[in-house]
Structure 1
Amino acid sequence: MRLVHNSMHDEVATQLRERIFNGELMPGTFLDEVRLAEQLSISRTPLREALKVLTAEGLVRHEPRRGSFVNEVTEQDLDEIFPVLALLEGRCAREAAEHATDADIATLQDMHDKLQRHAKAKRINDCYAVNFAIHEAIIELANNRWLAQVIADLRKIVKLARLQQLHAPGRLDQSLAEHMAVFAALKAHDAEGADAAMRTHLNRQRVALRELSRQPRSRLTR
């Protein structure tokens, strides 16, 4: 299927991004421009523009005279990214606590009720889905597009690691408790408490991922 011309490179970037995140293009994979252009039925010009977009996002790296590769996330990358994410999402929680209405709190209550049910039943995939929705809801409540943009960009890099921190021993219950602490602060409109609780949550995610990195590789991937 041929892509629409006026947004071709954006659509190509979206397709490649999805292939990276679903594991079809694994970290370290060489991105053969000729082969990709043939697969997508496009010329190499929009493909190269798309690769520039993904390079700017940190998902792809370009090596002179060698070409483009799917980026690989190192332990150092994660050590550097998570403290920044903690600060940014902490700020979102702070602003969300200041802005949240009774209706917002009721919506978050429903989401946390679902999270508790999934955690109790050990439905980890469902926990991930609700966990993501809760973080997105808090970011939306903060109503700060600059925070949202930077967080989204950093999340893309973390997603490359393809690690599932809820598989770390004891992490599922710990993560649930952290979420409930954030929610308690939001309900109380305790901006400082929400900020601190969210920073704790993100920093403990990094600890869990570090523990997983020491486990057999079969437990690190989806």
Structure 2
Amino acid sequence: MRIVANSLHDEVAAQLRERIFAGEWPPGTFLDEVRLAEEMRISRTPLREALKVLTVEGLVRHEPRRGCFVNEVTEQDLDEIFPVIALLEGRCAYEAAQNATDADLATLEAMHDKLSRHAKGKRINEYYEVNFAIHEAIIALAGNRWLATVIGDLRKIVKLARLQQLHAPGRLEQSLTEHLAVFAALKARDPEGAEAAMKTHLTRQRVALRELARGQRSRIAS
């Protein structure tokens, strides 16, 4: 598909980002510039500029004389990022509880109803999409552009791993319970409760990812 855009490298970056998030290229995949340029019917200049953008975001890593690869999020990365993002999104929930109108809460309630249906149907991908949208909505309700900017940068990296945690045994149901706790605090307009519930939710995501990694290592060892 030929790309036509005023800012070509931004559009290229958006398409590459989408393909990475969709799992088309697993972590560690080599991104062949020649093949990609031919496939997208663009020159290598905007492609290289797009790859620089993704490198800054942490989605891609560049190795001298080797090229670009889809980044691999390490256990150390996750240990360092999750406490930070828990603090930041916790603050967003605090501010959202102060700012949310009745109409905002009605919208969130509809989103949580949809989340519950996907959880009951074990539809992990659909659940994740609604889950992501709810987090985005709470960040938007906080109305703090500085928080939104920093969280957005971190979420681009963590998104490479966040979907995986829903495959941990019992995690889908646990995640739903946590989300409903956050929403209950928002509905009660309880800033401290919303903040604590969001921190718990994100901390448990990290625990689930750690358990998954441990299980994978055990299977490999056996």
Fold-level match, TM-score > 0.5?
yes
Please identify, of 114-123 and 63-72, the stretch whose mean Cα deviation from structure 2 is larger: 114-123
Q: Which digits, 9 at most, give the CA deviation of each residue in 1:69-99, with x for residues without a partner?
A: 1111111111111111101110110110010
Distance change (3 Å), C-alpha of 1:112 and 1:8: same
Q: Which digits, 9 at most, give the CA deviation of each residue in 1:4-50, with x for residues without a partner?
A: 26311111111211222222222112222222222222222111111
Report the Cα distance in structure 1 between the residues aligned to 2:20 and 2:7, rounded to whole angstroms. 20
Confirm whether residue 153 of structure 1 aligns to residue 153 of structure 2.
yes
TM-superposed CA distance for 1:163, in Å, is 4.4
Match of 1:42, SS state, is: coil
TM-score normalised by the chain length of structure 2: 0.89
Please identify, of 203-212 and 101-110, the stretch whose mean Cα deviation from structure 2 is larger: 101-110
Please identify, of 77-86 and 150-159, the stretch whose mean Cα deviation from structure 2 is larger: 150-159
Confirm whether residue 172 of structure 1 aligns to residue 166 of structure 2.
no
Amino acid at match of 1:69: F
Q: How does 1:94-105 map to 2 (within 5 A)?
A: 94-105=94-105
Match of 1:68, SS state, is: strand
Q: Which digits, 9 at most, give the CA deviation of each residue in 1:121-149, with x for residues without a partner?
A: 43333322322222121111111222222
What RMSD, in angstroms, separates the aligned Cα atoms of the two structures?
2.0
Count of residue pairs brought into register by the alignment: 218
Distance change (3 Å), C-alpha of 1:66 and 1:143: same
TM-score normalised by the chain length of structure 1: 0.89
Amino acid at match of 1:79: D
Contact 2:97 2:194 in 1 (8 A): yes
Query: Which residue does the alignment assign to 1:193?
Result: 193
Confirm whether residue 86 of structure 1 aligns to residue 86 of structure 2.
yes
Where does the alignment leave 5 or more consecutive residues of structure 2 unmatched? none
Query: Which residue does the alignment assign to 2:33?
Result: 33
Distance change (3 Å), C-alpha of 1:143 and 1:202: same
